[in-house]
Structure formats: C-alpha cells, structure tokens
Amino acid sequence: MAYNFPKRGRLSFLKKEVKVLIIKDKLIHDDKIKSNEFMVYLGLLMLLRKNENLYYVNVKQIGYLLTKKYPTKGNLDRNVLSGIKGLISAKIISDENQAQDIKEEWILNLSNLMQSSQNKDKEEIKLSRDFYTFVDDKEIHKILNLNNKYFTKSINLLRFYIYVLSTIFKSGKHKGVGFTSLSNMVEDTGIGSKTISSYLTILVENKL
C-alpha cells in the first residue's frame, strides 16, 4: 500500500500560525499507552515552554487545546481526565500537588516531555539516533472535531493518523510517501483491517 501526503508545509518550523509537535516514534508505537493517554500527551505538548517544567493543568484547558472548542463535551472531558491519570500512573508525567483533593486540576511536572522532544531543534533531531514524527496542532483539532460527521471514535482515529505519519519516509526521493502494507498496519496497531480501511477513507475525504 502506497500513500502520499499533500505538501502543506507540515514539517515547516516557519509557519507562526501553526504549532508543530515533535513526537518520538517509540512513543507512537508503544501499545502500553492508551489512545486517551496519547491524546492528552499531545495536548500537554501544546503547553510546553522552554525552560519551564511545572504547569497548572485542568481538564477543560486540555480539551480546549486539543479541539479549539469551548465548552468542551463531556465525553472528551472524561477521556482527558482518564488520560491524565493514566500518564501520571505510568510516570510519564508527575503530579506535584498530590496532597490537594482536587480531581480535575493539577500542578504537573512535564520535564520528561520536554527532555524527550520539544527542546530539540531540527539539526539535533537529524543527528539523533531516535526517530521523530511532526504533526501540526491544526490537524489534531480537525480530527477531534470529526465526531459529529462520522460514526467513529475520533480519539482512536487521531492515534492511527499519527501512527501513519510515523511510517512515511522523512527524507530522500520518497519523502512524504509511505509503503506500509495493510497487514503490517493491522499487526502494528492491533486494529482490524476493515476499521483501518474506514480510517484511511476518512483521512482522505478530509484531506489529511
């Protein structure tokens, strides 16, 4: 299966209106991380500022960053809440305000996220032995707002989309093209072939 992505400047760091998230491929392919946890991970990346580790975070805030919609919907809020708790449990982030009995807001230490990707520039990434995938925040907003248009769980679609991005060639004559077979996609993601075909159709229809 060959697939090509439109040239929309997705890898450009020069477009000020778009925030480019840098995600380790190892994390994208980690089946221990649930889709809602992965979604929250993306939302937390949007918060990061250089040389800052501690951030005030609440459920509505992350929901807004992920969708650019307010008020956020209850089902999204529930997934954000469980996603944050899952990332804390997995020690990917840490709760610095554990003594407080507040269930939907935290002071989070996000230093692991900063160290893993966002403080690297393009040259560091090229020299690194790790592999990274780049995604625009606008693409995340678009996918998570597809719930009203398609009978599918947009959180799972988002995770699959970024998985597909991680499989494309990032340099060379095939840059922007992927050749991963359907059977390999099934094996990598654990998603059924019919669902994958449906996801790919939705991504194509929405010019993603």
Distance CA 13, CA 119 (A): 13
- Residue 3 — very low, low, confident or very high, per pLDDT cuts 50/70/90? low
- What's at 61, amino acid-wise? Q
Q: What is the mean pLDDT of residues 117-134?
A: 63
Q: What is the phi/psi pair of residue 109, to 5°?
A: -90, 115
Please give the model's pTM, rounded to 2 decimal places: 0.82
pLDDT digits 0-9 by tens, 89-116: 999 999 998 766 667 899 999 998 875 5
Cis previous bond, 6, omega within 30: no
Tokens 């992927």, residue located: 178
- Residue 51 — very low, low, confident or very high, per pLDDT cuts 50/70/90? confident
Strand partners, 105: 58
Return the pLDDT at 176.
67
Contact 154, 147 (CB under 8 A): yes
Contact 116, 93 (CB under 8 A): no
- Residue 172 — very low, low, confident or very high, per pLDDT cuts 50/70/90? low
DSSP for the chain reads --EE---S-TT-S--TTSPEEEEEHHHHT-TTS-HHHHHHHHHHHTT--TT--EEEEEHHHHHHHHHS-SSPPHHHHHHHHHHHHHHHHTTSSEES-TTS--SSEEEEE-HHHIIIIIT--HHHHHHSSS-EEEEEHHHHHHHHT-TTTSSS-HHHHHHHHHHHHHHS--SSTTTTEE---HHHHHHHH---HHHHHHHHHHHHHTT-
- Residue 194 — very low, low, confident or very high, per pLDDT cuts 50/70/90? very high
Which residues in 136-153 are b (16+ Cβ under 10 Å) and which e? bbebbebbbebbeeeeee
